[in-house]
Chain A
């Protein structure tokens, strides 16, 4: 952990190989505190791998620097909860055993604690489960959230509601949010900046730009790598 001026995260010349295959090539970017940065790109672009490297779960070349006192909340895209008899309360108490904190965090994600707290995760609807996962991510009061497709498996209405709630929570608590999403409309509506990855950095800019056909061509077309220095918010 280092003092990074106003930056909470600095990634320099990050390269990741998995089974001798280049997944991320020479990626550099910086993120300020309190912003929401969406990570976009086609399937296999290296988005989830980037998150895994940011969490120090996999080996990498280059440098990843988090600022001092950073506390990260993370929710992966795939969780195996359907086969495990675990109640919402037990799941959240893995991170915070205070009953009042659990009740409060469930309320903050729009769930009635009395109704869901003793339910098994396996019987929750897709939307309820995603809300519980967001509660899991924030129950120990992080200042950075990493979300990999936070609404996968939920219907459109619930998706909008969940992103709205996520935006409110991050603004209220001044949380830096790094978000992987396939949905460019969601990226435009609910994030400040977008970083497009296609093994290397192909676009970095304000999220409203992602609806521009020229930018979409950059994101989903043949990769044209950007140089370090352009990716800074």
Chain B
């Protein structure tokens, strides 16, 4: 197994865990498609990184976070839904990103679909540290977010500042999506935030089980996709997605059979 694959596995496992954890909240907020679309907003930032020789992931993260905050603020001002604004922003970002990449098609392909060969020791360590920090921070605030989902009034009456927590949440999502782009690319990274949580949701009666399963499914999807990609020498992104969908399908079938036979 090559060094790049080992580093890729470290990134996949840790980012998969963190993405599953964060995605659990996104699915509860009924923002699964928003999370997916939002991830595409990273493309212009990645392009600027390639054009001006700085870390494309940093560019992607900055674009993601600034866009998410802008969209969140515009939503408050215009009263348009988050989905509507993200829908407009992500197509614009894709268009700008493609224009910025110009004829650098290799870099565009890497940005869209990921490239595990480019994952080095620094990326692996950064992904590990960031993922652990994201899980830790999400653990600190997830109960407040969930209370806000149950009733915004209840949350505010307990002194919870929902606006500030949502902002922190957007920051964490932006960080993890930027990390995940290395493996799956911008087109498929939204999967890591959505599908593991959707699978976990169908078989969970408690928050602790839901968040744990979502994280585990996220990590398994990423690890198995990367291993398969290494074995078959093809892009990891689609295989990560297919692994995750296989988990989702298995969970649905098991649940259906349990329901049918009980």
Interface residues of A (CB under 8 A from B): 52, 55, 57, 72, 74-76, 78-81, 83-87, 89-91, 94-95, 118-120, 123
- Chain B residues with CB under 8 A of A86: 146, 150, 206-207
- Chain B residues with CB under 8 A of A74: 153-154, 157
Closest residue of B by beta carbon distance from A72: B157
Q: Give, as a whole number of angstroms, the nearest-CB distance from A120 to chain B.
A: 4
Instruction: Point out the residue from A76, A84, A120 that lies within 8 Å of B153, measured CB to CB.
Output: A76
Cβ of B143 under 8 Å from chain A: yes
Closest residue of B by beta carbon distance from A90: B207
Q: Bound complex: CA of A52 vs CA of B154, how far in Å?
A: 10
Q: Give, as a whole number of angstroms, the nearest-CB distance from A163 to chain B.
A: 22
Cβ of B204 under 8 Å from chain A: yes
Q: Bound complex: CA of A78 vs CA of B209, how far in Å?
A: 26
Q: Bound complex: CA of A230 vs CA of B156, how far in Å?
A: 32
Q: Give, as a whole number of angstroms, the nearest-CB distance from A119 to chain B.
A: 7
Within 8 A of A (CB), among B194-212: 201, 204-210
- Chain B residues with CB under 8 A of A57: 153, 156-157
Instruction: Point out the residue from A72, A81, A118, A123 that lies within 8 Å of B150, measured CB to CB.
Output: A81
Cβ of B84 under 8 Å from chain A: no
Q: Give, as a whole number of angstroms, the nearest-CB distance from A46 to chain B.
A: 16
Main secondary structure of the interface of B (DSSP, over half): helix
Asked whether, in the complex, the Cβ of A79 is within 8 Å of the Cβ of B151, the reply is yes
Q: Give, as a whole number of angstroms, the nearest-CB distance from B23 to chain A.
A: 14
- Chain A residues with CB under 8 A of B153: 52, 55, 57, 74, 76
Q: Give, as a whole number of angstroms, the nearest-CB distance from B261 to chain A.
A: 19
- Chain A residues with CB under 8 A of B156: 55, 57
Interface residues of B (CB under 8 A from A): 28, 30, 143, 146-147, 149-151, 153-154, 156-158, 201, 204-210
Given A57-B156, A72-B157, A85-B210, decide whether A80 and B205 contact each other with a Cβ distance below 8 A: no
Q: How many residue-residue contacts, CB under 8 A, span A and B? A: 58
Q: Give, as a whole number of angstroms, the nearest-CB distance from A18 to chain B.
A: 14
Asked whether, in the complex, the Cβ of A80 is within 8 Å of the Cβ of B151, the reply is yes
- Chain B residues with CB under 8 A of A55: 153, 156-157
Asked whether, in the complex, the Cβ of B205 is within 8 Å of the Cβ of A79, the reply is no
Q: A80-B151, A90-B207, A120-B205 are in contact. List 10 more A-B contacts (CB 8 A).
A: A74-B154, A76-B154, A78-B151, A80-B149, A81-B150, A85-B205, A86-B206, A87-B206, A94-B143, A120-B206
Asked whether, in the complex, the Cβ of A83 is within 8 Å of the Cβ of B28, the reply is yes
Q: Bound complex: CA of A4 vs CA of B210, how far in Å?
A: 47
Q: Bound complex: CA of A84 vs CA of B119, how far in Å?
A: 37
- Chain A residues with CB under 8 A of B205: 85, 87, 118-120, 123
Q: Bound complex: CA of A123 vs CA of B146, how far in Å?
A: 18
Q: Give, as a whole number of angstroms, the nearest-CB distance from B159 to chain A.
A: 10
Closest residue of A by beta carbon distance from B24: A85
Q: Bound complex: CA of A55 vs CA of B158, how far in Å?
A: 10
Asked whether, in the complex, the Cβ of A80 is within 8 Å of the Cβ of B207, the reply is no
Asked whether, in the complex, the Cβ of B206 is within 8 Å of the Cβ of A84, the reply is no
Closest residue of A by beta carbon distance from B30: A83
Asked whether, in the complex, the Cβ of A84 is within 8 Å of the Cβ of B151, the reply is no
Q: Give, as a whole number of angstroms, the nearest-CB distance from B21 to chain A.
A: 14
- Chain B residues with CB under 8 A of A80: 149-151
Q: Bound complex: CA of A161 vs CA of B202, how far in Å?
A: 34
- Chain A residues with CB under 8 A of B146: 84, 86
Q: Bound complex: CA of A89 vs CA of B204, how far in Å?
A: 14
- Chain B residues with CB under 8 A of A76: 151, 153-154
Asked whether, in the complex, the Cβ of B204 is within 8 Å of the Cβ of A85, the reply is yes
- Chain A residues with CB under 8 A of B143: 94
Q: Give, as a whole number of angstroms, the nearest-CB distance from A150 to chain B.
A: 14
Q: Bound complex: CA of A94 vs CA of B151, how far in Å?
A: 13
Q: Bound complex: CA of A87 vs CA of B150, how far in Å?
A: 13
Asked whether, in the complex, the Cβ of A85 is within 8 Å of the Cβ of B151, the reply is no
Q: Give, as a whole number of angstroms, the nearest-CB distance from A135 to chain B.
A: 14
Q: Bound complex: CA of A79 vs CA of B208, how far in Å?
A: 21
Q: Bound complex: CA of A55 vs CA of B154, how far in Å?
A: 10
26 contacts between A and B (CB under 8 A): A74-B154, A74-B157, A75-B154, A76-B153, A78-B151, A79-B150, A79-B154, A80-B149, A81-B150, A83-B28, A84-B28, A84-B207, A85-B204, A85-B206, A85-B210, A86-B146, A86-B150, A86-B207, A87-B205, A90-B207, A94-B143, A94-B147, A95-B158, A120-B205, A120-B206, A123-B205
